[in-house]
A and B are shown apart, each in its own frame.
Chain A
Amino acid sequence: GAGVSQSPSNKVTEKGKDVELRCDPISGHTALYWYRQSLGQGLEFLIYFQGNSAPDKSGLPSDRFSAERTGGSVSTLTIQRTQQEDSAVYLCASSLAAGSSYNEQFFGPGTRLTVL
């Protein structure tokens, strides 16, 4: 596809369960970012990947959150032992090359996570 895709589009889970969210970036984009959007906090950065490495994990809110990227492409964000405050829309973005004039970020449609 031409754009960033994410799955699932919606996820409802029970408190304490683990969830995995998937992002497929635009083909050829080396930089990948995860953000989340919640009513109280707005849009906030979570983690950045350059290739398969994550040099910046400073936005992850707790050690229950982790992410990986494989083959310089697909990324998975995992939340363990979900809490109600994890409810938000999780957005993935990709760009051609970070740190250059080619860092325009393009966003996927998001995954809406609801923790009951």
Chain B
Amino acid sequence: GIQVEQSPPDLILQEGANSTLRCNFSDSVNNLQWFHQNPWGQLINLFYIPSGTKQNGRLSATTVATERYSLLYISSSQTTDSGVYFCAVERYSGAGSYQLTFGKGTKLSVIP
């Protein structure tokens, strides 16, 4: 199956700092999603981005499908950004579904 690798696994930032999270995947995909899992376990949708660049406030994401990677940028980080960031890729399973395959996540801690 497809492999999804995220880096770094852990990241500690001072409040106000910027960061870049990376997601590499081993094969072509239909689409890609970035999620933030908050401390209560809820997965919050950040971006649905098969290619190109999208921005939402202090967050932006870029997917380069031909090179099989995606980047998530966090600018001017805040303590509320803490949590685990997951990249998930969507592929047709061959059995009728387009399920997501997740990376192991990047655990971000933003300290005041």
Residues of A within 8 A of B (CB): 31, 33, 35, 42-45, 48, 50, 55-56, 58-59, 89, 91, 93, 98-99, 101, 103-107, 109-110, 112
Which DSSP category, helix, strand, loop or mixed, fits chain A's interface? strand
CB pair A45–B99 under 8 Å, yes or no, is yes
> B13-51 vs A: 1/0 string, CB under 8 Å?
000000000000000001101010000111101001010
A-B contact count (CB 8 A): 66
CB pair A33–B97 under 8 Å, yes or no, is yes
Tell me, yes or no, whether B66 is within 8 Å of chain A by CB. no
5 contacts between A and B (CB under 8 A): A56-B97, A101-B50, A104-B33, A107-B43, A112-B41
Tell me, yes or no, whether B86 is within 8 Å of chain A by CB. yes
CB pair B45–A104 under 8 Å, yes or no, is yes
CB pair B48–A48 under 8 Å, yes or no, is no
CB pair A109–B41 under 8 Å, yes or no, is yes
CB pair B31–A103 under 8 Å, yes or no, is yes
Known contacts A42-B102, A104-B33; decide if A48 and B96 are in contact (CB<8 Å): yes
9 closest A-B pairs by CB: A55-B96, A48-B97, A56-B97, A43-B102, A107-B43, A45-B99, A104-B48, A56-B95, A98-B98
Tell me, yes or no, whether B104 is within 8 Å of chain A by CB. yes
Q: Which listed residue (B98, B103, B104, B105) contacts A103, Cβ 8 A?
A: B98
CB pair A107–B42 under 8 Å, yes or no, is yes
Give the shortest distance, in Å, between A102 (CB) and chain B (any CB).
Answer: 10
Give the shortest distance, in Å, between A50 (CB) and chain B (any CB).
Answer: 7
Give the shortest distance, in Å, between A47 (CB) and chain B (any CB).
Answer: 9
Distance in angstroms between the alpha carbons of A44 and B33 in the assembled complex: 15
Distance in angstroms between the alpha carbons of A58 and B99 in the assembled complex: 11
Tell me, yes or no, whether B81 is within 8 Å of chain A by CB. no
